[in-house]
Amino acid sequence: MTTQNVVEVSDLSVDLLTKGGALRPVDRVSFAVGRGETLAVVGESGSGKTVMNFAPLGLMPVGVAVQISGSFRIGGVEIAGMAENRLRHIRGRSVGVIFQDPMSALNPLRRIGRQIAEVAERQRGLTTMQAERQAEDLLALVGMSDPAQRMKQYPHELSGGLRQRAMIASAIAGEPPLLIADEPTTALDVTIQAQILALLQSLQKKLNMGIVLITHDMGVVASMAHRVAVMYAGRIVEFGDVADVLVTPRHPYTLGLVNAIPREEDLSGSPFRGIPGLPPTMGAPVEACAFAPRCDVVMPVCRTRRPPLQALPQSSVLVACPVGIAQAGQRP
């Protein structure tokens, strides 16, 4: 069982050491993703969904002091706390990364083809000629017309959608078994988003990759992912099969997110449904449910104790809410 998981995370915490004290953007999370499987991680800004995946890979902004505890294994190899010179071999070979903004990932001064070929050379030991051929194949694979011509272009000569395709090509050039995609379509139009999501799905089938898809769009979750982790204030508050979590949300926060999606039957001019209050600001870890101040079914215990993530009986779902658990017991 464990050998099939491309990534296994257990009890992972990330602390940022700042002048104002320690912040904990990620607080004791655990999850795993198998080959060919897509896990969506949803949450709002500051929920820790990006830091959870990027900090262990050494992809934090320069100058941020990060302390990682717990375990983050990719293909059975522990990378939590690994030194940068070793992480460099993990990134690209064991895990490909797709960022929201392709311009931040592509080198503006180098041709597209060279950047992709370089990954294949470094990570797979191909010769320059082999790698160039491989890069051209990859550009065709990600749906770019006239790949030979594209090879010679610079990132700024491409549209947002094409840049995203070029970045995907470079992310999969090392043939990694795991792909981490951080809001890969947020900056794109819905029409181009559909193209990129369809591309990721077909690449996943072809290469049998596990995908961690970080997003805030429930539409993207529903159409792409098999399982979903809902994060709030650095913790996973609900986890399970997409078909269970999105159809019957158990955590009040998940319920709020799902309810906030405009529905077909909402009339023009009718009020929008949201979640009252403000998202939490990052701070020191709290011994309470972080959602309690915004929760409409809050109980006294929620304000004093962190609700554990518990499995629901006869279900794929884990939920960190005593009310969600109790309700699930009442209507199985």
| Residues engaged in binding another protein (CB under 8 A) | 44-45, 143, 145, 159-162, 189-195, 197-198, 201, 216-224, 242-243, 246-247, 256-258, 260-262, 266-276, 278-279
What does the buried/exposed string (b/e) look like for 277-297 if buried means 16 or more CB atoms within 10 Å of the residue's CB? eebbebeebeeebbbbebbee
CB closer to another protein out of 43 and 177: 43
Specify burial of residue 332 (Cβ count, 10 A radius: 0-12, 13-18, 19+).
Answer: exposed
Q: How far is the CB of 220 from another protein (least distance, A)?
A: 5
Distances in Å between the alpha carbon of 173 and those of 86, 96, 150, 201? 19, 8, 16, 16
Number of other residues whose CB lies within 10 A of the CB of residue 165: 24
In the block, tokens 């913790």 appear at: 235
Contact residues for 318 (Cβ-Cβ < 8 A; gap 6+): 236, 238, 239, 240, 309, 310, 311, 312
What φ, ψ does residue 149 adopt, rounded to 5°?
-70, -40
d(CA 166, CA 102): 8
The residue (of 194 and 301) whose beta carbon lies closer to another protein is: 194
Q: Tell me how far, at minimum, the Cβ of 216 lies from another protein, in Å.
A: 6
C-beta of 266: minimal distance to another protein in Å? 5
| Residue 193: CB minimum distance to another protein, A | 7
Nearer to another protein, 63 or 269 (CB): 269
Specify the 3-state DSSP secondary structure of 241: strand
What's the closest the beta carbon of residue 24 comes to another protein, in angstroms? 20
Give the nearer residue to another protein in terms of CB position, either 94 or 193. Answer: 193
Query: The sheet that has 77-78: what strands, in order across it?
Result: 21-34, 5-18, 65-74, 77-78
The least CB distance from residue 72 to another protein, in Å, is: 26
* Pick 93 or 163: Cβ nearer another protein: 163
Q: Between residues 79 and 181, which has the closer beta carbon with respect to another protein?
A: 181
